[in-house]
Every structure is written in structure tokens, then in C-alpha cells.
Amino acid sequence: MPLHLKKVGDAPHHDLMIADNDEILIVIPEPGFKDTADASRRTVEALREYARTLGRKCGLVVVANNLMAQEPESRRVYSEQVTADLFYGITLVVSSLMARAIGTVAIRFTKMPIPFSLSSSIESGIDWVNAQDKTEQ
């Protein structure tokens, strides 16, 4: 069954989408995007605003396949601002070679306050996020 996405918002250079579950936010950067600390701060604020507006914790599926680069400071922004009060899990979709490299660096060098993984597709990312125990965060 094909995945049907609905746009629910945006951030600079990103579309914010949902599939069947409005508490799993699918973050799709524009192709070729190079993540900077400033862009990360604005993206995180949009993610936090979505979760606050929804009124419950969200899971995040980030399509890292579209990223061409990410500054180390960007990883720090995410690790400090994607917090357990609003989010219960984050996975990076990394099916391309560049995305896998970025994802591997992120997993290795970023201490996240919530469960953090790599997934091979949006669908497997949604499954992983769904499996996270929201009440334990």
C-alpha cells in the first residue's frame, strides 16, 4: 500500500508532513539542503510548535536522504532542542550513501535525550517510531 502524506506545515527548506498518525511528523528537507545551525534552530522551533499545538508528544521521521551536508553545530541544536517533553523518538531515513554517512556521524557523535535511530525508508521509520514507548520518555 503506498504511503499517502499530507502537508501540515513547513520550516525553512523543509516540508512537515504526516501519514496516518498526526503525532508522527515526517520532516522532508528540500533536495540538496545543507543544514546549518541557524536553519536547525528554525526547523526545531517549527517542530516544537507543531507538538505544542497538537498537545501531545510526537515522533519524528527525518528524510536525511535529501541532505548534502550538516554542520556539527546543527547536531548540537537538535540534541538540545528535540527534548523528551515534546518528542518520544527520532529516526533518520538514510537509504542514500550521503545520507547514511550523515546519519552514521549523527548517531555516533550526537547524544539525544530521546531514542534515536536510522531507518531505510519512511515506512520503516514510522514503524520504529510507533514502537517507542511514549510514556517512558
What's the whole-model pTM score?
0.87
| Angstrom distance (rounded) from CA 127 to CA 54 | 20
Count of structural domains, the chain: 1
Show the low-confidence residues of the chain (pLDDT under 70): 1-2, 99, 109, 133-137
Domain-embedded: residue 53: yes
Domain-embedded: residue 113: yes
Residue type, 85: D
Domain-embedded: residue 137: no
Domain-embedded: residue 117: yes
92 and 103 in contact (C-beta within 8 Å)?
A: yes
Domain-embedded: residue 136: no
Domain-embedded: residue 41: yes
Q: Are strands 6-11 and 33-35 parallel, antiparallel or unpaired?
A: unpaired
- Can you give the residue range of the structural domain that contains 69? 6-129
Domain-embedded: residue 134: no
CATH number of the structural domain spanning residue 38: 3.30.750.24
| Angstrom distance (rounded) from CA 56 to CA 33 | 29
pLDDT tens-digit series, residues 41-77: 999 999 999 999 999 999 999 998 887 878 889 888 9
| Angstrom distance (rounded) from CA 9 to CA 68 | 22
